[in-house]
């Protein structure tokens, strides 16, 4: 059998398409970690500590990323190793954004009444942060694994660095765009940003990976079962090497 490197060719278009996934990632992260928290703290006078804890919630749940990466390596979900996990996670992120908007509207309403506490607002904020954080963690590792799988071994470093570079670039682009879009708090404008993030981000999360996993297997000339068997064999060989080295 030919090696994976001989079977899988490097495609610039496929890499750029996969990297466009990060446009939605940048939009979601900016609206959650920059716009929402700025409005909460500076506009409504909410203490920074609880807001920061909500933003940091996904880092407290970071072991989920390891679990999701392992599951996508060994347990297909809906007939796919990577794609289904990615779309599950990004679906949770899309669902979290309206909750984020509703929570901000609740705090805006009580702020006008001279208060800065709203129980339902905090429930919505916590639920939104949980969904967004879990979605990010479930989809992040499988996405990077898909990027790695899409190129020969000699180009895997280039592929990962390209995807991460696109994310960094769009952090700047989206941050500047959103800052001009929402110069002062306006509920209508904020909802426009939320809906734009859901629509544009959702589009790139689907477009960037649609059919990629299947095309990779077709190019390799292997089935899902054969791919899983190869992963199990590599894992077994790695464990044997580690054991031998310890001996």
pLDDT of 91-140, one tens digit each?
999 999 999 999 999 988 887 877 777 889 899 999 999 999 999 999 99
- Residue 198: the pLDDT is 96
- Residue 101: the pLDDT is 93
40 vs 53: CA distance, rounded Å: 13
149 vs 143: CA distance, rounded Å: 10
The domain spans of the chain are 12-219
Inform me whether the pLDDT recorded for 240 exceeds 70: no
115 CB contacts (<8 Å, ≥6 apart)? none
64 vs 69: CA distance, rounded Å: 8
CB 68 within 8 A of CB 142: yes
> What's the burial of 222, exposed, middle or buried (CB within 10 Å: 0-12/13-18/19+)?
middle
85 vs 87: CA distance, rounded Å: 6
Inform me whether the pLDDT recorded for 4 exceeds 60: no
Pick from 85, 93, 84: nearest CA to 25: 93
167-208 pLDDT, tens digit per residue, is 999 999 999 999 999 888 889 999 999 999 999 999 999 999
> What pTM value is reported for the model?
0.86
Own/partner contacts of 1-8, CB < 8 Å, gap of 24 or more, are 4/152, 4/153, 4/220, 5/152, 5/153, 5/154, 7/219, 7/220, 7/221, 8/150, 8/151, 8/152, 8/216, 8/219, 8/220
Mean of the per-residue pLDDT values for the chain?
86
Its CATH architecture, for the domain 12-219, is Up-down Bundle (1.20)
Inform me whether the pLDDT recorded for 234 exceeds 80: no
């Amino acid at each position: 059998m030919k090696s994976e490197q001989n079977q899988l060719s490097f495609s610039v278009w496929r890499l750029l398409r996969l990297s466009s996934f990060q446009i939605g990632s940048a939009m979601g992260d900016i609206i959650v970690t920059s716009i929402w928290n700025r409005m909460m703290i500076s506009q409504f006078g909410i203490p920074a500590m609880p807001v920061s804890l909500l933003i940091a919630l996904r880092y407290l749940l970071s072991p989920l990323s390891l679990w999701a990466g392992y599951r996508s390596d060994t347990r297909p979900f809906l007939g796919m190793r990577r794609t289904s996990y990615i779309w599950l996670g990004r679906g949770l992120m899309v669902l979290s954004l309206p909750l984020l908007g509703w929570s901000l509207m609740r705090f805006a309403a009580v702020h006008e009444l001279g208060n800065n506490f709203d129980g339902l607002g905090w429930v919505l904020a916590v639920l939104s942060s949980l969904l967004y954080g879990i979605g990010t963690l479930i989809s992040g590792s499988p996405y990077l694994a898909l990027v790695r799988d899409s190129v020969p071994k000699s180009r895997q470093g280039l592929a990962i660095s390209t995807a991460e570079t696109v994310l960094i670039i769009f952090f700047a682009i989206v941050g500047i765009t959103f800052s001009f879009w929402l110069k002062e708090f306006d509920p209508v404008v904020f909802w426009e940003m939320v809906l734009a993030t859901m629509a544009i981000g959702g589009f790139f999360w689907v477009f960037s990976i649609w059919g990629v996993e299947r095309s990779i297997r077709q190019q390799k000339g292997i089935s899902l079962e054969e791919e899983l068997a190869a992963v199990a064999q590599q894992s077994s060989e790695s464990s044997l090497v580690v054991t031998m080295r310890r001996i």
